[in-house]
Structure 1
Amino acid sequence: MARGVYIHIPFCHQICNYCDFNKVFFKNQPVDEYIEAIGTELKLIQQQEPKAFQQIETIYLGGGTPTSLSASQISRLLELINDIIPTNNLIEFASEANPDELSVDKLQALKAGGINRLSMGVQSFDTDLLKRLGRTHSNEQVYETIENAKAVGLNNINIDLMYGLPGQTMEQWEDSLEKALSLNLPHYSAYSLIVEPKTVFYIQYAKGKLHLPSEDLEAEMYDLLMNEMERNGHHQYEISNFARDGLISTHNKVYWDNDEYIGIGAGAHGYLKGIRYSNIGPIRKYLDSIQNGNRPIFSEHEVTFDEKCEEQMFLGLRKTEGVTFESFKRKLGISMMEKYQTILTKLASDELIIVDHIGVRLSRKGRFVGNEVFQQFLLGE
């Protein structure tokens, strides 16, 4: 049974240089038609799977940029969502947001439509780095937007930060962390830059024009991040996420728990009834499928038993609590040690994981090389 719903809004007023998500420039796009199609796709799933939305704990609006929509468009989108998805089990109703797009009327529309968590893409408090990233907001807009959000009753706020950026120094990272923590927010996410194909940064990197910090400097930045978050009372509950007690991201935890979720919108991904699927990406083709009364499925993959085991490990190990022996056995019907004893023994001897009577988790050393640890559980390793 699905625990979460992800709804993709692919429109942006500005395309960031590092972003590889399915997105288009807002101008001249069929935005209103797309919003109505979201409502239709929700109805199509409900018709095919009448119980699909009965246990939903979290709804997440991602993008693209959900707050690229006008206040009236936001209200209509949330109306369509609330018409289909029951709220009796809902813990979190979140939206991504850009600081320079969150006018007071949009914040009011989000709040009125049931949104109770905002995740703002701040990335850096350094003006030069923001320009390199293709971001258009200012620090003043971040501060003002947070104050306005709190004024309308939206207090559960996360901001995203990035490190390992082109030309970024330790001093710039220290300054961004200091400014971010001075906001005293309940949640922070911080990610190292990954240069993805089909992005502006990828083209620059291929031409030798993108100069990234060394691996050692990036590791120092991550070490500083963990230390400063802990010092300021934000518990690290996942490799890149930090929160005060009780204020973790429910939506992201659905992914890390390897539980099922429903993906809605152009290019969205979902995991339902043991099948991972992706929707059609091009907006016009997505709309055509919806208008023809069909779910806009582009691809489907039935997850094998071995893949389920792998996913349980490399997703679960992202959490600082790791994977318990009990949850692995309950979900997969097999002992974790029976399945992965050789791998676990080696990783433990390398001091990359900690194995105790409860389960397995990354050591602090292991957090610096998480991807290398996760790869050990993939087929063929």
Structure 2
Amino acid sequence: MESVVNGCIKKKIINFSPGPAKIPEEVLEIAQKELVDFQGHGLSVMEMSHRSKEFESIIFGAEKTVRELLDVPANYKVLFMQGGGAGQFSAVPLNLMRTGTADYLVSGSWSQAAAKEAKKYGTVHLVAPTPEKFGSVPDESEWKFSDNSSYFYHCGNETVHGVELPTTFTSVPGHLPIVADISSSLMSRKFDVSKYGMVFGGAQKNVGCAGVVLGIIREDLFGHARKECPSVLDYKLLDAHTSLYNTPPCFNVYVMGLVLNWIKKHGGLDAMDEMSQRKSSLIYSVIDKSNGFYYNPVDKRYRSRMNVPFRVGGVNGDEELEKRFLQEAGKLHMVQLKGHRSVGGMRASLYNAVTVEETQVLADFMQDFYDRNRV
């Protein structure tokens, strides 16, 4: 893929990074244009007061678009927080573990890390045994919930292991607030916010750059933070100050707002979902038709639309083939395809900003590589 810049042919990088991930070029161009002069105000977003009317228009505008895209009910608050998704691993139990116990489903490394962190603040009850190898989820009919749980926590999409859960559940007790880390699937499809007590997601996958977390929380869950909960993690305090209790990551919120507007402009969440299905199907189709040359370790019922891990050369991968795969992909300007260090292999992350055309380039390369290297 090529573009012309100042009369010169420029090779365009195709970025399959799991995060920080690709940001729409249209958004980057706007941010570049406004970097030193935001909408004629004569200063950058990075240097304006977070108490100014100009920045308030940015953060309140971003909240308005979040509510529109996800049809957020009026009794839910939208917060822009710091600390990344990992910060919420602590913030959730510090704010919500009223009974001293919470239920967790461990389906990959991020929910496992969240459960480990929550154990610092109370009892963590696993609703299902942790699998020896991540790639599937015990059937929901087998989940067992504790009697005095404060909430049920899960990760909607496991970035490392490529496991994506449904957005609705049948076995979770009706009184139990559902808390979901949706960092890797946020703004990729619609879901019924009213079925959750809280959802949160780091921006650096689908909605911007690293440094800000979007949280959507039902208002009746506010006001129960432990006394040792730091003020900057206290949901009620953050809401009372409209996410401006302390200086927020202003530029990151600004970029998120631009990305949200881009999503809205390009068809909203229905369009994002449709493209996600098309992109992931392109890659899974090559894998499934390769007679085991490519191997995806995830139960087909839980295959992620966002993150597709796979080995090259069989179930355990062939070190030489995988090295060559990355080298050849790099020559075609495809980057960030190496799998997470904990699992190895490859991983293609297909977030909103990755186009169907770019995904087709990867699918065509995978097919060609298979044709040239199959035994």
TM normalised by structure 2 equals 0.25
TM normalised by structure 1 equals 0.24
